[in-house]
Each structure stands twice: as structure tokens, then as C-alpha cells.
């Protein structure tokens, strides 16, 4: 559309890129900013203003001072790292959108060292020749899980893919209809199966599958029996599924390998914290499964990775699969994974030092202490518009694990006079660092379970800053 006369006048008055840049070079604010960043910001602000003129927005947009403020805001944004720390006040321990698992302190310091130095990533120091990167964690994985052999890829989706591709390309894979899992981010068992070249053969019904269903589906084309742990949902009521042990017996009888995708694999029996029982990796291995896959960064609390444990000959086959090269993990992950696995040699230590486990097992009295502390700090701000009270609530495990689990927790519900809960949530989210909570009954809820020690004062400062601005 042609600009109107008024719009044409505004466009003529719009400062050019060069004149704004000239101002910028004189301003010490931009001293430490790369020139290309400043130039891009100026262009963006001018383009944006031109669009606003065409949309008939107010005229003071053209004042140079206002434009420069906008340029500074754009520059500030561009100079802030995109991936940054946030305060997880959601109470969801393994929060997929907020980085899933936090690494243990020891894993972090080892990782920092390995990142900055050369390492024996693929070098066998005792033999003085090339080594296998997987060998760095294989022994540990075998020691903890009881398996014969182990290997690692980039994530569990990759682990499932490479296992199916190795064991079942062009052959039928029998899976219960109750286990055709979809997890977030478009991982669906039927789709991964298709990509791997395995042919999905569904048996049973959504709520009940029996041994006979598997048996009836066996043909000469069968290549694998697959069990998938329904880690992010639960089929309740009139249900039946075939235990791994029974499937293993069937597999033995017909000389077929049996695989289990555990998803949120854990080495720790959660019932020891009074939580819902999750099948452990050790139990799956002891049941005789030929191959077991699980995530490194769900309940395990390590870095993103896909762990594969099982029979030696099968792991050998997987290692030779070219997909393994495409899915291989890097040295930083490997270092963090090794450190995390080492901690698991002592389960009590694991629960203390691995943040995911510590937060899941965190005693209510400890969460309450933190809630009382935060409530007091908020009160000390001394703003009568602020109302912050302690509430009982429940937190979730998250990360597609323990779907029915509700962990009793303590929360602070915040209300600010004259401010909607939505606006409050947004202001907290835009804080530096962002504070991510949830809205419930017109309150902004901070669940203290996942609020780390340093986070308490960050939240308090964030609230104080926001009150000052309002």
C-alpha cells in the first residue's frame, strides 16, 4: 500500500542508519559492544519504527533519544547469552523445558577440567594406542547395572533407534498396544520403529496384553520382542501386562532377543524414600533382558545421554552400526556421565549428591524451612501491596517420569494489590534471572522444592525490583 501524506512526512523525518550510528559511536554504553551488533540493532530499530509508522502508531517514536534507548535495549538483549540460568519455582524436579537434570558438583568440576585440557578420550594410556571412547564408562555401567556390556549414545531416543536398527531392520518387532508410548518432542515408538526399518507388530489391547498375545504374533519374520516402560503415563484399573521375565522366557524359547526401553531409567529403588516404585535398571538386567535402554538425564540425574546395557554380542553389533557414529556423545557429556556414575557406587552418597535424587527425596521439613525463610525475606521488603503466604501443595517428578506421583511440598503464594496474577507471572519470568513459577487461584505460586539455596535471595530481589517498578 502507498504511504499516506502523513506517513510520508514521518518517514522523511525518520533518522537514517548513519546518523544514529554516529551518535552510538560517541556513547560509552557501546564501548564493549562489537560494531556489527550495534549496526544490526540500529537497522532493526529503524526498520521496526518504519513498520510502526505504516501501522499509524504515535509520532514521538521518531525522537532520537527514544530511538537510541531502543537500540540500547536491542543491544542489551543481543549481548545476553541465550541459554542462561533460570530459577525453577515450578516444583517439577526433572523439568524438560528447564534443562531436566542438574549435575552433581563433582561432575561439574570434572567437566570443566576436561573441557579445558586434552584428554584420553580415545586413547588407551596403558597400551599407548587408540582406545574406544565408550570404554571410559562401560565398566562402571556394568558394575552398577550387573550387565555384561554397555555403551552410550547421545540420548535415549537415539539409543532406541540404534538398538532397533541393529536388531530388527526388516523384521517384525512385537510390542503391546498398551506400550506404544509417545513422549514430548515427537518421539513415538511407532515412528522410531519405522525410521529404524523395524516392522511394528502390535499385540493385545490398550489395557490388557497377555503372554498368549505375544505368542500368537510370532512368525518367521519376528526379529525382536520389545517392552516399553510407560514412564510418562499409567494405565490403571482393569489392566494386565506381561512381566519382562516372562517375555524373556518366551524369547529364549524361540531364540529371539528381548529389549526393554525403560525411558526414565533409575539405579535407585524409589520406594526407599516412600515414593512410588519405578523399575530399576538392575532389575531389568537381572530379569535377563538382552538389551535395556534408558535416559542419562531423567531420574538418573546425569547429562543428556542414552544408555544401553545388555548382552555382549548384541552390544558388539550396536557398536559396529554406523548410526552409532552419528549418535556419538561428546567428551563433556562423557566426563559428566562418568562422574555421575562413579557417585552411584555408593547409593547413599548418590541420594545426597545427585541433585535430581536429592530434590525428589527432599524432606518436607527442609522445604518448609526454605519457605519460611523466603516468606520472612519478602515480608522484610515492607511493601503493603505484597501478600505472600505459605501453602501446602504437591510437586511432580516431571521429565516423563512417575506420572502419578504427587510429592507433598511447601509453596509461597504471592499476590500484589492492583496487579493480576498473569502480569505477576510475566514480570517474574522477565526478571534477570527469570523466575519460573505457576498460577493457581489468582496467585503466583513458588514451589520451594526446586528452589535452590541461592535462588531464595534472587526471588526476593526480583519481587522487590518488580514492586519498585509497578
Ligand X SMILES: *Cc1c(COP(=O)(O)O)cnc(C)c1O
* Residue 257 found at the interface with ligand X (CB under 6 A): no
* CB of residue 261 to ligand X, shortest distance in Å: 5
187 touches ligand X by CB under 6 A: yes
User: Minimum CB separation from ligand X for residue 271, in Å?
Assistant: 20
Is 227 an interacting residue with respect to ligand X (CB under 6 A)? no
- Residue in 198, 306, 310, 437 binding ligand X, rule: CB under 6 A: 306
Site for ligand X in 130-159 (CB under 6 A): 155-157
Shortest distance, position 437 Cβ to ligand X, whole Å: 24
* CA–CA separation, 214 and 247 (whole Å): 8
Distance in Å, CB of 264 to ligand X, minimum = 5
Closer residue to ligand X in complex, CB, 396/410: 396
Indicate whether 273 belongs to the interface with ligand X (CB under 6 A).
no
Instruction: Annotate each residue in 160-179 with x if it binds ligand X (CB under 6 A) or - if it does not, as one string.
Output: x-------------------
229 is a site residue for ligand X (CB under 6 A): yes
Residue 280 within binding range of ligand X, rule CB under 6 A: no
Output 183 or 367, the one with its CB closest to ligand X. Answer: 183
Taking the complex as a whole, the smallest distance from the CB of residue 469 to ligand X amounts, in Å, to: 39
Let me know the angle formed at the C-alpha of 362 by 360 and 363, rounded to the nearest 5 degrees. 135
Can you give the chain as a three-state secondary structure string? Answer: CCCCHHHHHHHHHCCCHHHHHHHHHHCHHHCCCCHHHHHHHHHHHHHHHHHHHHCCCCHHHHCHHHHHHHHHHHHHHHHCCCCCCCEECCCCCCEHHHCECCCCHHHHHHHHHHHHCCCCCCEECCCCEECCCCHHHHHHHHHHHCCCEEEEECCHHHHHHHHHHHHHCCCEEEEEHHHCCEECCCEEHHHHHHHHCCEEEEECCCCECCHHHHHHHCCCCEEEEEEECCCCCCCCCCCECCCHHHHHHHHHHCCCCEEEEEECCECCCHHHHCCCCCCEHHHHHHCCCCEEEEECCCCCCCCCCEEEEECHHHHHHHHHCHHHHHCCCCHHHHHHHHHHHHHCCCHHHHHHHCHHHHHHCCCHHHHHHHHHHHHHHHHHCCCCCEEEEEEEEEECCECCECCCCCEEEEEEEEEECCCCHHHHHHHHHCCCCCEECEEECCEEEEEHHHCCCCHHHHHHHHHHHHHHHC
Q: Is the peptide bond before 433 cis (omega within 30 degrees of 0)?
A: yes
Minimum distance of ligand X from residue 121's CB (angstroms)? 22
Distance CA 78, CA 33 (A): 10
Closest CA to 435 of 426, 394, 103: 426
Residue 412 contacts ligand X per CB under 6 A: no
**Closest residue to bound ligand X by CB:** 263
**Interface with ligand X includes 101 (CB under 6 A)?**
no
Contacts of 207 (CB under 8 A, 6+ apart): 178, 235, 237, 238, 239, 240
Contact between 90 and ligand X per CB under 6 A: no
Q: Cβ closer to ligand X: 91 or 263?
A: 263
181 binds ligand X (CB under 6 A): yes
For residue 194, the minimal CB distance to ligand X (Å) is 15
- Residue 224 interacts with ligand X (CB under 6 A)? no
What CA–CA distance (Å, rounded) separates 358 from 31?
44
Nearer CB in complex with ligand X: 184/433:
184
| Shortest distance, position 111 Cβ to ligand X, whole Å | 19
Among the listed residues 88, 176, 231, 335, the single contact to ligand X using CB under 6 A = 231
Measured CA distances, 122 to 111, 133, 296, 327, 338 (Å): 16, 5, 21, 16, 15
**Between 401 and 431, CB nearer to ligand X:** 401
Closest separation in Å from C-beta 100 to ligand X: 8
Shorter beta-carbon distance to ligand X: residue 223 or 306: 306
Contact flag: residue 282 with ligand X (CB under 6 A): no
C-alpha 281/C-alpha 146 separation (Å) is 9
Segment near ligand X (CB under 6 A), from 23-31, 181-189, 421-429, 441-449?
181-189
Residue 179 or 425 having the CB closest to ligand X: 179
Contact status: 264 vs ligand X (CB under 6 A): yes
Which of 88, 101 has the CB closer to ligand X? 101
**Residue 431 Cβ vs ligand X, minimum distance, rounded to whole Å:** 29
CB-nearer residue toward ligand X: 181 or 256: 181
Nearer to ligand X, 181 or 446 (CB): 181
Q: Of residues 232-251, which lie at the interface with ligand X (CB under 6 A)?
A: 232
Residue 222 contacts ligand X per CB under 6 A: no
Pick 402 or 459: Cβ nearer ligand X: 402
Using CB under 6 A as the binding rule, whether residue 411 contacts ligand X is answered as no
Which residues of the shown chain bind ligand X in the complex (CB under 6 A)? 155-157, 160, 181, 183, 187, 228-229, 231-232, 261, 263-264, 295, 306, 400
Amino acid at each position: 500500500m502507498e504511504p499516506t501524506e502523513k506517513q510520508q512526512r514521518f518517514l522523511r523525518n525518520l533518522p537514517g542508519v548513519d546518523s544514529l550510528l554516529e551518535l552510538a559511536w560517541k556513547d560509552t554504553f557501546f564501548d564493549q559492544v562489537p560494531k556489527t551488533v550495534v549496526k544490526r540493532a540500529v537497522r532493526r530499530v529503524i526498520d521496526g519504527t518504519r513498520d510502526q509508522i505504516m501501522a499509524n502508531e504515535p509520532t514521538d517514536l521518531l525522537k532520537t533519544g527514544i530511538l537510541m534507548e531502543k537500540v540500547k535495549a536491542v543491544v542489551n538483549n543481543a549481548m545476553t547469552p541465550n541459554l542462561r540460568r533460570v530459577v525453577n519455582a515450578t516444583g517439577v524436579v526433572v523439568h524438560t523445558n528447564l534443562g531436566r537434570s542438574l549435575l552433581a558438583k563433582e561432575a561439574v568440576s570434572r567437566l570443566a577440567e576436561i573441557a579445558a585440557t586434552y584428554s584420553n578420550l580415545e586413547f588407551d594410556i596403558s597400551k599407548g594406542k587408540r582406545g574406544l571412547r565408550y570404554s571410559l564408562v562401560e565398566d562402571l555401567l556394568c558394575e552398577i547395572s550387573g550387565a555384561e556390556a554397555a555403551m552410550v549414545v547421545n540420548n535415549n531416543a537415539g539409543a532406541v533407534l540404534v538398538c532397533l536398527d541393529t536388531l530388527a531392520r526388516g523384521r517384525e518387532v512385537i510390542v503391546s498396544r498398551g506400550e506404544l508410548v509417545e513422549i514430548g518432542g515427537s518421539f513415538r515408538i511407532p515412528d522410531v520403529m519405522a525410521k529404524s526399518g523395524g516392522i511394528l507388530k502390535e499385540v493385545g489391547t490398550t489395557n490388557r496384553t497377555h503372554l498368549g498375545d505375544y505368542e500368537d504374533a510370532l512368525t518367521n519374520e519376528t526379529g525382536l520382542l520389545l517392552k516399553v516402560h510407560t514412564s510418562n503415563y499409567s494405565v490403571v484399573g482393569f489392566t494386565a501386562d506381561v512381566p519382562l521375565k516372562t517375555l524373556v522366557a518366551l524369547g529364549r524359547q524361540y531364540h529371539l532377543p528381548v529389549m526393554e526401553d525403560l525411558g526414565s531409567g533409575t539405579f535407585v529403588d524409589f520406594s526407599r524414600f516412600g515414593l512410588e516404585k519405578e523399575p530399576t535398571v538392575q532389575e531389568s538386567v537381572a530379569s535377563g533382558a538382552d538389551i535395556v535402554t534408558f535416559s542419562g538425564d531423567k531420574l538418573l540425574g546425569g547429562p543428556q545421554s542414552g544408555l544401553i546395557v545388555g548382552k555382549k554380542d548384541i552390544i558388539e553389533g550396536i557398536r559396529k552400526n554406523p548410526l552409532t557414529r552419528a549418535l556419538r556423545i561428546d567428551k563433556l557429556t562423557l566426563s559428566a556421565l562418568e562422574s555421575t556414575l562413579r557417585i552411584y557406587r555408593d547409593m547413599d552418597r548418590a541420594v545426597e549428591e545427585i541433585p535430581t535424587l536429592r530434590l525428589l527425596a527432599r524432606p518436607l521439613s527442609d522445604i518448609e524451612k526454605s519457605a519460611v525463610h523466603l516468606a520472612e525475606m519478602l515480608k522484610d521488603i515492607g511493601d503493603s501491596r505484597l501478600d505472600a503466604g505459605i501453602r501446602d501443595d504437591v510437586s511432580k517428578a516431571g521429565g516423563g517420569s512417575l506420572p502419578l506421583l504427587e510429592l507433598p511440598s511447601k509453596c509461597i503464594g504471592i499476590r500484589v494489590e492492583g496487579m493480576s496474577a498473569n502480569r505477576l507471572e510475566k514480570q517474574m519470568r522477565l526478571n534477570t534471572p527469570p523466575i519460573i513459577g505457576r498460577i493457581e487461584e489468582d496467585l503466583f505460586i513458588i514451589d520451594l522444592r526446586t528452589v535452590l539455596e541461592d535462588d531464595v535471595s534472587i526471588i526476593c530481589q526480583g519481587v522487590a525490583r518488580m514492586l519498585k517498578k509497578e
